[in-house]
């Protein structure tokens, strides 16, 4: 069976009720021994020898990350990292103008996002964490000589599992018709925002991107997805497969929702009040509408009334929400500037850490 044969309502309906057993079991154990969370947060890398005090489910979880990945030494790994250095400022801008608001138009998935207090009350911090996650994924040597990315992915996967746990336990208004929170279909859709949508966004910004580069990004985010617990049997290997997968998910889940409106309103307010360059403020909804397209813009009820200025597309790489300059040419200078600018803008040091539940 080819992957295109998997992209049916029948299969995707099944994925809406599938979660991530490995991470979910680990979280159940960790929440019984909360003192382990702060120790895990202190790790820069996953140690080769795991602590003896770890419960079996937690050991099993981290041992998964210590195994060789399915694409060891594949050329696309370094190619993707070089690609990021070339387009880093543009990619970070597209996260805020395209990838993140795109997710708000998918009503059922938005129900998970809106239940995160941080996303609604501190959208800038949430956006910064997403950008930091992307930076860490593209760190030179990631998946080869540099193992720090595995620690980041392990934390993000546990954060997803913790979100599932707390929604199931505390969200009394959760509607089972939405599927399980952060289910396999939603994980696939989210991974597409970092690969397929970034490719589209670069092209929409009047920059050329080859078919080979598009498929290289898909392969790279397929590897990331492997560590995030995505069922990679469904992950597209070709541009056609990615197009068809996004198309059917869009057809299945695009819909207006109060959750989507709340999330978009919060993001727009953040841009207007905090980081967005004043000269672009009148065009903010036009910018989002340009990237999101007519259908999603209608779902999100974007109120675009002015034409997008030409200088914006020509200078997108200068308009990152965190003032990322276009001059940096190495990952380490990009990374350092990002951390400096986010701390200056948000007043906090951005990191990716497991939340510490209240006692």
Encode pLDDT of 215-246 as tens digits: 999 999 999 999 999 999 999 999 999 999 99
Using alpha carbons only, what angle is made at residue 126 by residues 333 and 277, rounded to the nearest 5 degrees? 65
State pTM to two decimals.
0.94
In the prediction, which pLDDT does 220 show?
A: 98
Q: Which two tokens stand for residue 281?
A: 């403020």
Distant-in-sequence contacts of 203-210, Cβ < 8 A, 24+ apart: 204/290, 204/291, 205/90, 205/94, 205/313, 205/316, 206/313, 206/314, 207/87, 207/90
Maximum CA extent, the chain: 61
pLDDT at 19 > cutoff 60: yes
Distance CA 188, CA 232 (A): 9
pLDDT at 48 > cutoff 70: yes
In the prediction, which pLDDT does 320 show?
A: 66
Neighbours of 251 (CB within 10 A): 9
In the DSSP assignment, the letter for residue 8 is S
In the prediction, which pLDDT does 117 show?
A: 72
In the prediction, which pLDDT does 172 show?
A: 83
Per-residue confidence band for 303, with pLDDT thresholds at 50, 70 and 90:
confident
pLDDT at 206 > cutoff 90: no
Number of H helices, E strands in the chain: 19, 0
3-state secondary structure 139-200: CCCECCCECHHHHHHHHHHHHHHHHHHHHHHHCCCCCHHHCCCCCHHHHHHHHHHHCHHHHH
């Amino acid at each position: 069976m080819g992957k295109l044969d998997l992209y049916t309502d029948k299969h995707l309906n099944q994925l809406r009720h599938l979660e991530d057993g490995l991470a979910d079991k680990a979280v159940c154990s960790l929440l019984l021994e909360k003192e382990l969370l702060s120790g895990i947060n202190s790790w820069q890398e996953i140690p080769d020898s795991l602590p003896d005090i770890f419960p079996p489910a937690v050991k099993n979880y981290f041992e998964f990350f210590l195994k060789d990945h399915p694409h060891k030494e594949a050329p696309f790994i370094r190619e993707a990292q070089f690609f990021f250095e070339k387009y880093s400022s543009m990619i970070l801008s597209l996260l805020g103008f395209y990838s993140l608001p795109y997710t708000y138009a998918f009503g059922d998935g938005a129900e998970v996002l809106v239940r995160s207090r941080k996303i609604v009350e501190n959208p800038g911090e949430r956006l910064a964490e997403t950008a930091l996650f992307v930076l860490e994924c593209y760190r030179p040597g990631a998946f080869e000589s540099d193992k720090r990315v595995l620690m980041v992915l392990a934390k993000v996967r546990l954060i997803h599992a913790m979100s599932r746990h707390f929604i199931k336990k505390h969200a009394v208004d959760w509607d089972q018709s939405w599927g399980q929170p952060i289910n396999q279909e939603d994980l696939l859709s989210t991974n597409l925002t970092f690969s397929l949508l970034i490719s589209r966004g670069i092209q929409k910004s009047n920059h050329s991107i080859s078919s080979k580069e598009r498929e290289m990004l898909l392969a790279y985010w397929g590897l990331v997805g492997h560590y995030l617990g995505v069922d990679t049997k469904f992950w597209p290997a070709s541009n056609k497969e990615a197009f068809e997968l996004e198309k059917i998910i869009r057809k299945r889940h695009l819909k207006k929702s109060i959750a989507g409106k709340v999330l978009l309103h919060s993001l727009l307010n953040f841009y207007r009040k905090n980081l967005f360059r004043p000269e672009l403020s009148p065009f903010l909804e036009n910018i989002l509408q340009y990237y999101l397209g007519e259908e999603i813009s209608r779902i999100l009820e974007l109120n675009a009334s002015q034409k997008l200025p030409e200088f914006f597309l020509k200078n997108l790489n200068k308009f990152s929400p965190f003032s990322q300059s276009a001059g940096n040419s190495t990952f380490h200078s990009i990374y350092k500037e990002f951390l400096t600018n986010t701390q200056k803008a948000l007043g906090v040091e951005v990191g990716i850490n497991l939340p510490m539940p209240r006692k």
